[in-house]
Amino acid sequence: MSSILTNSSALSALQALQQTQQEMAQTESQVSTGLAVASAKDNAAYWSIATQLNSDAGVVTAANSSLTESQSVLDTATSAIKQIITTINSIKNALTEATQPNADIGNINTTLQQDGQALTDAVNGASFGGLNLLNGSQVAALNFVSGFNATTTGGSFNTISFTAQALTGTAGVATTSQEAPITDAQTINGLINLADNTASVTTPSYGVDQITNGGTTANTITVASKSLSGVTTTTTYNILDANGNAATEAQYTAAGGTTSGYTLSVSQQTTTPGGLLTSGAVNLTTLQTSAATAATQLTGVESALTAVTNYAAVIGRDPGSDDRRRDFQLRAGDQLRHGRQRPGRRQHEHRLHASAGLADAGTARHSVAVDSQPELPAPPEAV
C-alpha cells in the first residue's frame, strides 16, 4: 500500500478538501456576521479602512443625536414664544379698549392680570430636559454640537454658540470694577481722539457703542456698549497726570503725553438687562392700567412685542434646514458604515463637517459638507 505522503492523487484530494473547508468556514463567517470582511485576515486593507470609517460613523450618529436634542430645545422655546406673542396681542387689545371713554377698567385689569399670569406660565413652562431659553436661567452662552471633523489623527466637534435672553425679570443691579490703568501711548491717543456721538446715539445697542467725549477740556471719555444678551457695559477712562491728579486732554497733549507720566484710569460698570417683557416702567406680567395711563402703556407693550418677536426670529428662523442637515448626516453616516470610498485608499483627512450660523447668535443658516473621494461601487461590507 502506498503512503499518503507519496500518493500524489491523495495529496491533491487532501489539498482540495482543505481549500473547500476554508471556503466553507469563510462563507459561514460571512453568513453569521453579515460581513464580507469580518477581520483583518479576510482583507487587511479593507478591514483597516472599514474600522476607521465605522468609528467615524459612530461619532456622526452621536452628533446627529445632539442636533436632534438641540432642535428640540429650540422648538420648545419657539412654541412658547408663539403663545406669548398671542397673549401680548391680547394685552394690546385690552389697553386699546381702556383708552375708550366708557371703558370698564375693572374688567380690563382682570383680563390683564390673567394675561400676565399666562405670560409667566408660558415662560416657566418652556423647558426641555431642564434647559429653558426664556426664563433667564441660562446666563452663560450655550454651545450646541453641530458636527464632527474626522481626521486620521482624531477629530474635533463643531459647536454653535447661542446666548439666551430672559423674557421675565427686572434689570439687575449695576456692578462696578476697577481695571488696570492704561500706560500705552498709542492706546491712550486712540481713546482720547474718539469722536463724541451722543447726538446721534442716545443709548447703546448691540454693535453700536455710545461714546461721550467732551473734547480738549474734558477729563473723561466714556464708552457704553451693549452685548447681544442685553448686558450694558459702561467703561470710563479718566486722564491722570504723573502725580495721579485729574487732567484734561489739552494738558495731556501739552505735557507730551505718556512721556510725562500721564495715564488713563479705567473703571467698568456692568448692568444686566430686564426681561424682554419689561419695557421701561411697563411690566407685562404685572400690568394694571387706567384711562390716563393706557396710551403710554400701549407704547411699552409694542416695544416689548418687537423685542420678543426679534428673539423668536433668532431662535426659530429657517427651522426646516436643521431637518435637512440631520437627514444629510444620516445618509453620510450610512455611507461611512458601508465604506463607500475608493477601495484601498483613504484621504489624509476625511471630513464630515456640519456647520451652522446663528443670525445674531441664533440659528439662521445651516449647511453640511462631506469631503471624500468620488463615490464608487462599494467594496465588500466590513465590520
Same domain, 143 and 235: no
- Give the distance from CA 366 to its chain's centroid: 12
> Greater confidence, 171 or 73?
73
Q: How far apart are CA 152 and CA 88, in angstroms?
A: 54
pLDDT digits (tens, 9 = 90+) for 104-119: 999 999 999 999 999 9
3-class DSSP assignment, residue 359: strand
Please tell me the chain's helix, strand, coil percentages from 3-state DSSP, rounded to the nearest 5: 40, 25, 35
In the listed set 238, 271, 304, which residue is the last one of a domain according to the structure? Answer: 271
Same domain, 146 and 62: yes
Q: Is residue 355 included in any domain, yes or no?
A: yes
pLDDT digits (tens, 9 = 90+) for 24-68: 877 776 667 666 676 776 777 777 777 777 776 777 777 777 788
Same domain, 322 and 358: yes
Res 170: pLDDT? 67
CB 81 within 8 A of CB 265: no
Q: How many domains does the chain have?
A: 3
DSSP H/E element including 312: helix 294-316
Residue-range definition of the domain harbouring residue 36: 11-40
Q: Is residue 106 included in any domain, yes or no?
A: yes
For range 6-28, the mean pLDDT: 78
pLDDT digits (tens, 9 = 90+) for 164-196: 888 987 666 678 999 999 999 899 999 999 999
Same domain, 61 and 154: yes
How is residue 227 written as a grid cell?
A: 452685548
